[in-house]
Amino acid sequence: MKHYTSIHDIDDINSWIEEAKALKLTPLKHLELGRNKTLGLLFFNSSLRTRLSTQKAALNLGMNPIVMNVSGDAWGIEFGDGTVMNGNTAEHIKEAAAVVSQYCDIIAVRAFPTLTDKVKDESEEVLNAFKKYASVPLVNMESATGHPLQALTDAITISEHKKKDKPKVVLSWAPHVKALPHAVANSFTQAMQKMDVDFVITNPEGYDLSPDIVGDTPIIHNQEEALKDADFVYVKNWSSYEDYGKVVNTEPSWMITKEKLGDAKFMHCLPVRRNVIVEDAVLDSDSSIVIQQANNRTYAAQLVLKKILENA
C-alpha cells in the first residue's frame, strides 16, 4: 500500500483488524520504524480527535509529527488547472504538494467538501491533487467524500465488541442543525460491506446516500423497523445527497433514544450534539461505546502509518 485515501486501500479488512488489535496491546513495539521520519499533518478544516490521535499514532512509531493549519498558518491554495492566479490564492497545489513532499516522509490531509458543488466534491479535488503532485505517501484525514481512518476505527471497534459471529449493524441518520458531509457515512458503509455483518441503512426519504456507495445495502426509511434486533447502531447526520448539501428535514423524532436503542451498542464518530443526535441517557449509559471507539482512532492511524512505513 502506498497511499491510504479510501477504505478500498485495505486489502483484507479482517487481517487489518487483527493487526490493529495487536498494536493496541503493544503500541510502542515499533518505535524504531518511524525514527527520524516526519509526518506532515495539513488541516484545511477543524479537527480534534484526528489531530490528536494521528499525532499520537506517529509518536508511537517514533515519528516526528509537524502540524499545519493550511489557511491560518500559510495562505489560500489554488487547485484549478491553467488558472491565472490574480485572485485570493497565492500558491498552486502543484508546487505546494511537491514542496511539502520534500520536508515530510508522509503527508496527511484533511479537506472537507463544499456541499454546494457535487461534481467538485465527488472529484475529490484536494485529495486527488495531493495524490497527483505529492511524491510521498498520502493519508486521508477526512476528505470530501470519505473518512477511511474513521471507518477502519469503526471496524476495529465492532470486532472488539461483537457478541455473535455476524452482528446486525444499522447506520442511522439523525437530525442536526446544519449541513454535514457524507464522508463518515460513506466510508462506514463501505467498511461494513467488507465485513461479515448484517448491515442496513436507515434515513428519512430524501436522505439516501449516493447509489454508488450504497450498492446492494438495504435502505429502510422506517427507523423503528430498521433498528429491530440491532447489535450496533451507528448514528450520524448527513445532508441530502439528492438535493445536494441541503438540510431537507430536521425531524426530531429521528433522534436516538435509550428506548429505540434497546440492547444495541451506540456508536458515533464524534463530535456529537447531545439531545439533538442522541439523548443524554444513551451517551451516559454503558450502551454507548463512543469513547472506546475514539480510543481506536490511535490504533487505526498507527496501523496505516506502520503499513506505509513498512512499504517505503
- Which residues are documented as binding site for N(2)-succinyl-L-ornithine? 142, 176, 236, 273
Q: What is the DSSP secondary structure assignment for residue 288, as one 8-state letter?
A: B
Q: How far is the CB of 268 from its own copies (least distance, A)?
A: 9
- Whether the CB-CB separation of 276 and 137 falls below 8 Å is answered with no
Q: How far is the CB of 21 from its own copies (least distance, A)?
A: 16
The residue with cell 431537507 is 248
Query: Between residues 100 and 201, which has the closer beta carbon with respect to its own copies?
Result: 100
Q: What is the DSSP secondary structure assignment for residue 8, as one 8-state letter?
A: G
Interaction between residue 25 and its own copies (CB under 8 A): no
Applying CB under 8 A, what is the total number of residues that bind its own copies?
Answer: 60
Residue 154's identity, in one-letter code, is D
Span interacting with its own copies, options 86-94, 143-151, 199-207, 217-225, rule CB under 8 A: 86-94
The residue with cell 475514539 is 294
Query: What is the DSSP annotation of 138-182?
Result: EEESS-SS--HHHHHHHHHHHHHH-SSSS-EEEEEE---SS---S
Give the one residue of 36, 164, 216, 311 binding its own copies; rule: CB under 8 A. 36
List the binding residues for carbamoyl phosphate.
Answer: 47-50, 75, 110, 147-150, 269-270, 297
Residue numbers 275-294 binding its own copies by CB under 8 A: 275-276, 280, 283-284, 290-291, 294
Interaction between residue 157 and its own copies (CB under 8 A): no
Dist CA 68 CA 62 (whole Å): 19
Query: Between residues 10 and 106, which has the closer beta carbon with respect to its own copies?
Result: 106
Interaction between residue 84 and its own copies (CB under 8 A): yes
- Measured between its terminal Cα atoms, the distance across the chain in Å is 9
Query: Between residues 75 and 243, which has the closer beta carbon with respect to its own copies?
Result: 75
Interaction between residue 90 and its own copies (CB under 8 A): yes
Locate the DSSP E strands across 237-285: 265-267
Q: What is the DSSP secondary structure assignment for residue 238, as one 8-state letter?
A: -
Query: What is the DSSP annotation of 92-108?
Result: EHHHHHHHHHHH-SEEE
Interaction between residue 195 and its own copies (CB under 8 A): no
C-alpha cell at 305: 502509518
Q: Which residues in this chain contact its own copies in the complex, by CB under 8 A?
A: 28, 31, 36, 38, 40, 43, 46-49, 51-53, 55-56, 59-60, 64, 66, 68-69, 72-75, 78, 82-87, 90-92, 94-96, 98-100, 102-104, 177, 270-276, 280, 283-284, 290-291, 294-295, 298
